[in-house]
Amino acid sequence: MAEDIKPAVIEYITTEFVPDGTDVDIATANLLEEEIVDSLGIFTLVSFIEDKFGVTVEPEEVNLDNFETVDSVVSLIQGKM
């Protein structure tokens, strides 16, 4: 299951937040600095994480550090499983 997390997160972020034709490497991008995901997008991403992976993201976990990169999102999910 753990090996499936990163591709699923990348696919979701690409589908939901990256306009067609935009050339960005989601896997290495700083999602916040590059304005791929904004504050509202974080909450959309939290809903996806909870639904897809069956975990609960606590309010105190909804912070910039946990949503800065795909790897930080993956670490958050893995820590919840």
Architecture of the domain whose range is 2-80: Orthogonal Bundle (1.10)
Please provide the average confidence, as pLDDT, over all residues in the chain: 93
The structure tokens 């090996």 sit at 3
* pLDDT at position 80 over 80: yes
pLDDT at 44: 96
| Packed helices 70-80 and 39-53: angle between N→C axes, nearest 10 degrees | 40
Q: Confirm whether pTM is higher than 0.85.
A: yes
Cα 51 from Cα 36, distance rounded (Å):
21
Q: Which amino acid is at 7?
A: P
For the stretch 51-64, pLDDT in tens is: 999 999 999 999 99
* pLDDT at position 41 over 80: yes
Q: How confident is the model at residue 3 (pLDDT cuts 50, 70, 90)?
A: confident
Domain assignments of the chain as residue spans, ordered by start: 2-80
Q: Which two tokens stand for residue 69?
A: 């990169």
